[in-house]
Structure 1
């Protein structure tokens, strides 16, 4: 363990935002519920906020050497593996593989939409995990590579037939190749020295190359705070702090939005001149938001347990973060299940007005439109079902386009229907509605033609 200074401005002065070990002792919680142990010593438990620039980071933390060993031996089992897939002894769940494919599709769609993808370009994915994104890019004609330190890199060839994933730290990765696109998604916050990582990325990019970064936003959590302030996330960025980090390492932001499974900050940047730190986060504002969000999430948990009515839960939401929509979404599903289609659809429409990010895939806008299409169809409202269906297909990630999906299912490596049902996604129901509407339209066209021709 070691004390560290702020990665962005170098200040050693900070305020403590969250001390997990202290919370365990105060509430007599079992430490192994929320505290990470490394060599039987609790680590990564205190999040602090820099007094000078507002960056939130873990301090003290494991040394660089301890961090590397942790990711080699412990991280995947601790945070992402879940129960093994017993059908073929994989150290991850069907849900985990589904989310990786989902994110690969989302990121591919995003890069394609902005016009960055073309055959023959060189791409590198840092923290590539099972390698779904490099596999997708390679299938589309890119020279795609990945770097992954954990044992998950060993499964990319079995899953996708791709052998261009290097099992090593990014710090140790060396190549003379220059890249058109480097992606570092859900990874930058895990590095001990993100400034050094970005400087190396800058060196490895072609002059006209771009980097895609996805990191969580401290002002848009997507789970309980003790989980959101993950022991494995050495940094918790804000829009200000990620822009500061890019400025001082010589990048210009080209695109900023939210996307992916966790609806994290999504940044496209290109090489530029280094600039001084320009932004600052306010510690009291962070504390205020964190406390308000905690009240929202607590109301959600009580509502799900049935100890808080919908009306009482929404009263908490309206007093704290009115745009928080999960409780409203769950109530909409409950109403639809009870047969109150109109009431459920009304709440789903209200959910569409919120821009607050949600980790749950089914609460994102594309899926809500899918659910509206299915509900309208089941209620006999074919016109609205068609309109909602078209909007859903416009917004939902093109999961069915993932080139390895059929082969993964054939080999028994992935159960698509199981993933869809576990995450309450509308893909299957939406597909069934589309096929029925197509047949109805086809019958209508034939009938109309017969009338016109007198046959």
Structure 2
């Protein structure tokens, strides 16, 4: 099995991060897409999600307090308002499909607003939670296995695309479920805004990590055009329509920009953590006399540290 980029078909890549269990992140030198290789068997992935190994991130086992539920409802309502602002001109039949709907918080809001909703969720517990608590229609399966016989005004894909083994097949199937007036809303992590240590950011369950440019090209490859792109926060948010004539525009310098950014981010993250941990150690021991001496030592080390050049492997 060759190490080939799914976006541009190039076999020229470099190791970006060594992961657990021989699962590694590579970055394509032609287009900049970051991907896991070797790829994981799809049946294993389905089993992973179906059996609830990912459920803890959604707090399924926790009985939500009233205050917590109110917070979740308000957050879901804010997300609805954000999305609706950009899609209201495209809505005709008020139909929504969410792929990877988890506990159904977002679908519940759309349902309360009068939309006909359908969710697809591979986790049995998450799908059951959505059905019991919100009475929303949820199919418990992988999206790739689900047969859907109608088109939708809006397709939601919130933090799902990065977990998909074959994004081309996934997006082409979505394309077939949309009319020319439909909207696809995608939200994925932004490689340029990790908001954490890089070891945590490059999660082994994220088979692809996107930049705004590589996401644009992945969508264009599968005949989607981004009509609005939002990168203000740590996520990439993209509103897309179908466009049969669009083609990817590969930027050969994207991978260099990503490498430069990641090396700089890693260096700054380590330095920041170094000073913060030193400061809290000082507070713990309240050593006011030793503080100036300690800081001088840190500054000297910092000056030496700035000269260090990191390897590509994160």
Whole-Å Cα distance in 2 between the matches of residues 250 and 61 of structure 1?
24
Whole-Å Cα distance in 1 between the matches of residues 148 and 60 of structure 2?
36
Select the residue among 278, 282, 292 that pairs with 2:249: 278
Select the residue among 162, 175, 196 that pairs with 1:189: 162
* Map 1:240-251 → 2, pairs under 5 A: 240-251=213-224
Whether the 8 Å contact between 2:58 and 2:103 is mirrored in structure 1 is: no
* Map 1:273-422 → 2, pairs under 5 A: 273-280=244-251, 281-307=253-279
Select the residue among 61, 68, 73 that pairs with 2:46: 68
Q: CA deviation at 1:158?
A: 3.0
Per-residue Cα deviation, 1:87-127 (whole angstroms, up to 9, x for no partner): x4x8xx99997886465333311122225276851100111
Whole-Å Cα distance in 1 between the matches of residues 72 and 213 of structure 2?
28
Whether the 8 Å contact between 2:216 and 2:226 is mirrored in structure 1 is: yes
Structure-2 residue corresponding to 1:16: 15
Whole-Å Cα distance in 2 between the matches of residues 95 and 64 of structure 1?
38
What root-mean-square deviation, in Å, do the aligned CA atoms of Structure 1 and Structure 2 show? Answer: 3.0
How many pairs were matched up? 284
Deviates more, 1:294-303 or 1:140-149: 294-303
Whether the 8 Å contact between 1:122 and 1:179 is mirrored in structure 2 is: yes
Partner SS for 1:47:
strand
Q: With CA pairs under 8 Å and 6+ residues apart, which has the higher RCO, 1 or 2?
A: 2
1:265 paired to 2:228: no
Structure-1 residue corresponding to 2:287: none
Whole-Å Cα distance in 1 between the matches of residues 60 and 138 of structure 2?
24
TM-score, length of structure 2 as denominator length: 0.80
Per-residue Cα deviation, 1:246-276 (whole angstroms, up to 9, x for no partner): 11111111100136xx631000010112433
Partner SS for 1:137:
helix
Structure-2 residue corresponding to 1:49: 27
Q: CA deviation at 1:163?
A: 3.1
Structure-2 residue corresponding to 1:206: 179
Structure-2 residue corresponding to 1:328: none
Select the residue among 44, 57, 62 that pairs with 1:80: 57
Structure-2 residue corresponding to 1:445: none
**Larger CA Rg, structure 1 vs 2:** 1
- 5+ residue gaps, structure 2, are 283-294, 307-314
Q: CA deviation at 1:74?
A: 4.8
Whether the 8 Å contact between 1:119 and 1:141 is mirrored in structure 2 is: no
Whole-Å Cα distance in 1 between the matches of residues 196 and 73 of structure 2?
21
Whole-Å Cα distance in 1 between the matches of residues 26 and 111 of structure 2?
41
Q: CA deviation at 1:210?
A: 0.6
Q: CA deviation at 1:213?
A: 0.5
The structure richer in strand per residue is 2
- 5+ residue gaps, structure 1, are 21-34, 36-41, 321-455
Q: CA deviation at 1:61?
A: 2.8
Structure-1 residue corresponding to 2:290: none
Partner SS for 1:114:
helix
The 3 A distance-change label for structure 1 pair 94 and 190 is farther
